[in-house]
Structure 1
Amino acid sequence: MILPSKIEQHSGPLEMLLQLTELLPANYAQYRPLVADGLSFFLQRLSPLRQQAILAAQLALPTAASRERRVLSLFRLCPTLHKLGQVVAHDRRLSADLRARLQELETLAPTDSLAALRSLLDREVGTVAGLQLGQETIAEGSVAVVVPFVWRQAKGEAPQRGVFKLLRPGVQDRLEEELAIWPLLGTFLEERCAHHGLPVLDYGNTLEMVARLLANEVRLDQEQEHLRQAADLYAGAADILIPRLFPFCTPLVTAMERVDGCKVTHQDLPAGEMCQRAERVTRALLAQPFWGSGEAGAMFHADPHAGNLLATADGRLAIIDWALTTRLTKAQCEAVVQLVLGAVTLNETRVCTAIAALGQPGDETRVQVAVSAAIAQVRCGRFPGFDWMTSLMDSLAAASAVRFPEEIALFRKALLTLSGVVADVSGQTGMDGVLVRHGAAQFLRGLMWRPWAWADSRAVGAHLSTADLVGLWADLPATTLRFLAGDRGGRRGAVRQ
């Protein structure tokens, strides 16, 4: 039951907020009542002061304000919704108007003054010789605000331009309040699914997991460690820029190199060069960490929205905001490759085995049904790349057939965001093509070491062992038979229809 609160005193704005669910695409129309219930549940459990601020912001908008504009106003006041908006801002299943509004959440003009932040800076950083602070804040994100500075390390040396990243006043309390609601919201949504006649999905565990992950947004000391790891990862890539840390970082303040550039989605170059930019984004955020992962696994930027990916004037890709990352183990990367190989060879057993290595199957029958449907798509000509793989994972999760661990779920979220960004940079570039080329290059580089590796070792060459390669060759006749058997089955079905 939804409890009465201050928000009910203004049914007009509340009704307008609940009508925002009409922005869901038509193919998800059946979920609009569920989303309205969830939004109402979330708002009702915010503190009265938070509710009043949200309502005041809605009342301040013109009566004829678009639903897209009202979404932006709501999301800006709720850090968890703000992050959600950034994740789906480039999802092409949404309308162009809504995506344009949500993309405004990626780079916001600051609302917090430098005066409100000065005491924290003075307490944390203190007096640094040669440091000159900027006159005002320059950017704002879902949880942090950015203040510019210039530092002259020694007399006679060229000044270095940097920024302080620190939490927005009060954001930690707001985030903690919202994150405490999310697990309750998951259970509530599961109950409402039955009421609306919708599939009962595992919302509780999913939202609880996301809440734990989003709590890392306020861990600036953790982000600093991620920045150091990223600098090591991309040390050999001359066209990738990771902001350099300054020596006066603290657990509550990050001091780093200032990066100038535009969002990678900004169409400021000819089509051919935008295509190269899209390839660079895919290589840096997906191909390089995936194919280059060693025994320590692969680290991925888990929040690759366009506001965190900047194109610099000298043609480099700057990757900023490393608060959220996810790691796939070497075994998980190998399982992804086995999953794709199973699809290529139309081998359902191999695909099911790979899925079991990536998650925890709960219903073998549902797994088999989903895998069979996915293999049928491959047989009909769909390329079994990352888009195919994530569609399969989504269907398995939606059917509650498999429970995937946190790192896989966050990897899936990053892929969703990244695929939309790449498409907006250049519609001519597909992530799968870039992945295949870099995987092939990695495989060729490993050929010289393969004779000295154990037959079952996947330490060299694109997560494939010599035994895998021999097995693929030996399985070729069976693959042909599976294709022909499926093709005949499809023809018989067509005749019966």
Structure 2
Amino acid sequence: MGTENLCKIVAEQLVGFVCLEDAIPESLSNYALFIRDAISIFLSRISYSRLKETIMEQSVLNSAHNSPAERLLNLALHFPTLHKLGQIIARRPGLDPIIKNWLVCLESGIYSTDMYEDIEFLKKQLADVSSEFQINFQPRILAEASVATIVPFTWIDVTSNKETSGVFKVLKPKIKVRLYEELEILKYIARYFEDRLSRYGLQQLQLTKLFQEISAHLAREIDLVAEQDIIAKATSVYDRYDNVRVPQLAPFCRETITAMEHIKGVKITEIEATAEQRTALARLTFETIICRPLFWPGDRALFHGDPHTGNILAALDKTSNRYEIALVDWTLAGFLSKKQRSHMMELMLGILSSNIRAIISAMRKLAVNSEEIDLYSLPILEKQIKTLVDSAGYQRYDHLKKTFRLLEEITLYGVIFPSDLILFRKAFFTLEGVLSDISPDCALGKTMESYLANLLMQEMPFRVLNSFSPVFD
């Protein structure tokens, strides 16, 4: 029996062990065949050595009668792409509570990395700065994500003798090889299903281009140098706000290590707070991650692209009795241009007025393949958009969620948006799930309206002064 056939057999066994059918929520039942076949194909093309390791653990779990959700969680831990997908799904509203409780563990759980191996690696990487900085490594792991672990330390600058608490973000062993293997498999899966769209009910979804966008974002996860650059930019953006923090970088970062300030706080969903404090915290978080980038005055607006609960810390300011937040893990971040944000407002206004032509006009301005939306496909697209905006479920959303929901739905009909806009849309839905756990009564649409009203009040003196400037001239 060849290795390829053996991998297919092992992959089928893994899917059987996981009991995937039992783990798929009712809301995704129409895509159950697609999900099952996609995971089967994905696993069948993974190297045999990795499959062997995975199936051994699944066999133990299966014999102990673990739930489908627990087996699915264990499976995701072996594959960074599935791990990241699980994090994205974890906070989607309407997800089965049992599955949600397990997937949330993917956000910052502590799993299986050898901490001593990490510390030995850190010592070797930082040997050349020992004369400038006294670094004291702490033999524990604070958190473990899909591609990296977080290790605490303290350091003293020998010139100032000042001690600072910090954390190292360290890439997992073999993570680059494993991630690139999985990204190649995702390319194959995209081509496979793009040739079989009708069979799986995927309509005109352009999977190859969509997976290219997803792969580009996943590749960012292991580019720590790029993250360090983003953290520096984020620090300059959020320094002006008293209630939002970004970790300061330490002066001994490396290509495989990000050394930064240790901001002490708890995961945002684990706070012990009054209902009033929770609502205020939810509003602050939403304004910071969605509203500020959307209405940023500059040409390029930076946003955090992965706001799951493990990446948002909360700490109580005892003076004001209000919570402040810290945004960590900036590997997934993006920029929206002023033009893109303007077109987003056009889209929102079209949705508010139920003007299908205005919606399509704004959508085409946002799309990267607008020239492909020709006279033939336009009537089909117009019909699909009208069906969606007239549906009872869609009408229940506020205007903001309607906008992001529309951006999500029309990708099924061949419309492709820029990668950073896709990331911003994902960030919105991830954050929506997080905030519903903190304060279910926090209305995001009204929060944005309130934010805009305050923004206009702040700008009013400047706008009034500008209106008189021709007279002064």
User: Structure 1 length normalisation: TM-score?
Assistant: 0.85
After TM superposition, the structure 1 stretch with the greater mean CA deviation from structure 2, 80-89 or 145-154, is: 145-154
Could you say which residue in structure 2 is the equivalent of 1:266? Answer: 270
Q: Match of 2:95, as an amino acid?
A: L
1:442 maps onto 2:445 in alignment? no
- Residues 452, 339 of structure 1: CA spacing in aligned structure 2 closer, same or farther, 3 A cutoff? farther
Deviation per CA, 1:203-250: give whole Å up to 9, x if none: 221112101111010011111111111111111111111111111111
CA distance in 2, matches of 1:404, 1:216: 19
Other-structure match for 2:406: 392
Indicate whether 1:308 and 2:311 are aligned. yes
Instruction: Determine the C-alpha separation between the residues in 2 that align with 1:376 and 1:194.
Output: 24
SS in 2 for 1:145: strand
Equivalent AA in structure 1 for residue 288 of structure 2: A
Q: Where in structure 2 are the equivalents of 1:475-494 lying within 5 Å? A: none
> Deviation at 1:178?
0.5
Q: Is the 8 A contact 2:11 2:51 kept in 1?
A: no
Instruction: Give matches, 1:162-177, under 5 Å.
Output: 162-177=166-181
Task: Pick closer, same or farther for the CA change 1:233–1:377 going to 2, 3 Å.
Answer: farther
Residues 80 and 381 of structure 1: is their aligned pair in 2 closer, same or farther, counting only changes over 3 Å?
closer
Separation in 1, partners of 2:355, 2:304: 32
* 1:124-203 matches, cutoff 5 A: 124-126=125-127, 127-128=129-130, 129-154=133-158, 157-196=161-200, 199-203=203-207
- The structure with higher relative contact order (CA 8 Å, sep 6+) is 2
Alignment match, 1:352? 360
Partner of 2:471: none
The residue type paired with residue 427 of structure 2 is A
What code does the residue aligned with 1:372 have? K
Query: Partners in 2 of 1:410 and 1:279 — Cα distance?
Result: 21
**Residue pair 2:220, 2:332 contacting (<8 A) in 1 also:** yes
TM-fit CA distance, 1:391: 1.6
Give the direction of change, closer, same or farther, for the CA distance of 1:267–1:336 in structure 2 (3 Å limit).
Answer: same
**1:189 shift after superposition:** 1.9
Map of 1:494 onto structure 2: none
Number of equivalent positions = 451
CA contact (8 A) 1:343 1:384 kept: no
* One-letter amino acid of the structure 1 residue matched with residue 357 of structure 2: T
Are residues 1:364 and 2:378 paired? Answer: yes
User: Which has the higher mean CA deviation after the structures are superposed, 103-112 or 340-349?
Assistant: 340-349
Unaligned regions of 5+ residues in structure 2, if any? 318-322, 468-473
CA RMSD, 1 decimal:
2.4
1:304 and 1:452 map into 2 onto residues whose CA distance is 38
Q: Are positions 1:280 and 2:284 aligned together?
A: yes
1:207-286 superposed matches below 5 A: 207-286=211-290
Structure 1 CA distance, aligned partners of 2:57 and 2:303?
A: 36
Measure the CA separation in 1 of the matches of 2:366 and 2:398.
17
* Compared CA separation, residues 67 and 238, structure 1 to 2 (3 A): same
State the one-letter code of the partner of 2:79.
C
Deviations 1:405-439 (A, max 9, x none): 21111111111111111111110112211211112
**Matching residue of 2:81:** 80
> What is the identity percentage for the equivalent residue pairs of Structure 1 and Structure 2?
27
Tell which deviates more after alignment, 338-347 or 388-397: 338-347
> C-alpha separation between the residues in 2 aligned to 1:180 and 1:61?
29
- Shift of residue 66, structure 1, vs aligned partner: 0.6
1:155 to partner: Cα distance? 7.1
**CA distance, structure 2, for counterparts of residue 332 and residue 198 of structure 1:** 27
User: Is the 8 Å Cα contact of residues 17 and 59 (structure 2) preserved in structure 1?
Assistant: no
> Structure 2: how far apart are the matches of 1:45 and 1:102?
24
Alpha carbons 1:22, 1:32 under 8 Å: kept: no
Gaps (5+ residues) in structure 1?
455-497
Taking the aligned partners of 2:248 and 2:10, their CA distance within structure 1 comes to 50
Q: Distance in 2 between matches of 1:250 and 1:11?
A: 41
Query: Offset at 1:179?
Result: 0.8
* Distance (Å, rounded) in 2 between the aligned partners of 1:292 and 1:240: 16
- Counting only pairs closer than 5 Å after superposition, residues 323-472 of structure 1 correspond to structure 2 as 323-359=331-367, 360-361=369-370, 362=373, 363-373=377-387, 376=390, 382=396, 385-400=399-414, 402-450=415-463
State the distance in 1 between where 2:396 and 2:460 align.
29
User: CA separation of 1:407/1:265 partners in 2, compared to 1, >3 Å: closer, same or farther?
Assistant: same
**CA separation in 2, counterparts of 1:236 and 1:265?**
25
Please tell me whether the aligned partners of residues 348 and 372 of structure 1 are also in contact (alpha carbons under 8 angstroms): yes
The structural deviation recorded for 1:452 is 6.8
Deviation at 1:307, TM superposition (A): 0.4
Tell me if the contact between 2:93 and 2:432 (Cα under 8 Å) persists in the aligned partners. Answer: no
Residue equivalent to 2:301: 298
Distance 1:353 1:192 in 2: 30
Distance 2:136 2:4 in 1: 51
State the SS of the aligned residue for 1:4: helix
Taking structure 2 as the reference length, the TM-score comes to: 0.89
CA contact (8 A) 1:243 1:257 kept: yes
